[in-house]
Amino acid sequence: MKRNNYFDNAATSFPKPPEVAAAMSRYLNEVGGSYGRSAYARAFEVARTVEKTRDLLAERMGAGDAEQVVFAPNATYAINVVLRSVLRHGGRVLISPLEHNAVTRPLAALTSRYGGSFELLPHRADGRVEPSRIKEMVTSDTVLAVVNHQGNVNGVIQPLGEIREQLGAVPLLVDASQSFGSIPLTVDDWNIDFLAFTGHKALLGPTGIGGLYLRNPAEVEPLVYGGTGSASESFQMPDIMPDRFEAGTPNIAGIYGLMAALETQPASCHTREEYQRLIEELHSLPSLRVLCAERFDHQGDVFSFYQPGSDPANLGRRLFDDFGIESRIGLHCAPLAHQTLGTFPTGSVRIGVSRYHSANDFSYLTEALRNCLQP
């Protein structure tokens, strides 16, 4: 098997299953047609594909009603849909200490414009939220909590079910960008209110397609208004789902690719034990600090490392220049996470593992780092 040196899967996954490109090419070159607007064979096939993809997504996230899943360009867009609606009258928001700028930037803008604030949920040193301490933070003006299921710097997996239980009546928005496709989700069982996701990471789909799950869609205002192919006689957006949140023609080629990814998820080339061994071996390297979960059973497929007193950019560049290892250097669009973990403002070198990595790939990464750390 050819060695896989691509460890930037937390940014976007590579490689993809070959069926993804084939499905997108088939749509562009053979099928064509729009979605929800016309009545002929091509349009009917597109509609079947879009709705089948919606059904597959709902099944994967444990949602009983597929119409509560709407398509969006990416998770950032989906997060903004919820935040801009919930915070249009201000309010207090509780967030995890590992949130991405997809959450913190809109929160900063919206609380500045409409009033309100956002505060960190109680957590451990690795950023994992402590559910037992949540109730004491909930106040009458708390309108929302936001938690990323898996951190995009150290890969910590948050206890969503316990967090949801302790929040009481406060709605919970989950950013599942890093987890959806690699960690089981059950939005119905956990009573998740909103879940934003993307297709191009652990799901192994193309870029430009993601979506949003809404438990109670009527409580959220659309971010974009326009044509839906339904209720066209009215200037008002339709209330029916999923049309209420799907103005304009969707990324149909992306949906074809995402459906192919959902139908052809490959088996992992490594075991969980081999992944654990990788992290343990990196922990043992002198002068290297590894950012990961305190407990391995809380560890997702992302982690980072750095050398104290050294710019991580130097280590990341050497890994690529000398060993061809592709990683992500810096703050990873998550300065809050790095502040929490004590690596702000320089950041770290991030490793994103995929199911296409083998134990041999892990050994190569370990030896490359061992060489880079030699004086």
Tally of structural domains, the chain: 2
Q: How many whole angstroms separate alpha carbon 33 and alpha carbon 62?
A: 30
Report the SS3 class of residue 157: strand
Q: Is the peptide bond before 242 cis (omega within 30 degrees of 0)?
A: yes
Q: Which residues contact 273 (CB under 8 A, 6 or more apart)?
A: none
**Angle separating helix axes 272-283 and 359-372, nearest 10 degrees:** 10
The domain that holds 325 is classified in CATH as 3.90.1150.10
Residue 316's φ and ψ, nearest 5 degrees, are -65, -40
- Identity at 33, one-letter amino acid code: G
Q: Of 345, 366, 341, 362, which Cα lies nearest the Cα of 353?
A: 362
Are 106 and 214 found together in one domain? yes
Are 206 and 310 found together in one domain? no
How open is the CA angle 244-249-252, to the nearest 5 degrees? 115
Are 101 and 42 found together in one domain? yes
Q: Which residues contact 256 (CB under 8 A, 6 or more apart)?
A: 23, 24, 26, 27, 31, 49
| In a domain? residue 2 | no
Residue 35's φ and ψ, nearest 5 degrees, are -120, 125
Are 251 and 329 found together in one domain? no
Are 160 and 180 found together in one domain? yes
Point out the domain boundary residue: 228, 263, 298: 263
Report the SS3 class of residue 122: coil
Q: How many whole angstroms separate alpha carbon 255 and alpha carbon 246?
A: 13
Point out the domain boundary residue: 219, 243, 263: 263
Are 90 and 198 found together in one domain? yes
Provide the domain limits for residue 282: 272-372
| In a domain? residue 10 | no
Q: Which residues contact 122 (CB under 8 A, 6 or more apart)?
A: 129, 130, 133, 134, 137
| In a domain? residue 277 | yes
Contact 52, 45 (CB under 8 A): no
Q: Of 357, 368, 362, which Cα lies nearest the Cα of 15?
A: 357
**Local confidence pLDDT in tens for the 375 residues of the chain:** 789 999 999 999 999 999 999 999 999 999 998 887 788 889 899 999 999 999 999 999 999 999 999 999 999 999 999 999 999 999 999 999 999 999 999 999 999 999 999 999 999 999 999 999 999 999 999 999 999 999 999 999 999 999 999 999 999 999 999 999 999 999 999 999 999 999 999 999 999 999 999 999 999 999 999 998 888 889 998 899 999 999 999 999 999 999 999 999 899 999 999 999 999 999 999 999 999 999 999 999 999 999 999 999 999 999 999 999 999 999 999 999 999 999 999 999 999 999 999 999 999 999 999 999 987
CB-based contacts of 280-284 (< 8 A; 24+ apart in sequence): 281/366, 282/366, 282/369
Q: How many residues does the chain have?
A: 375
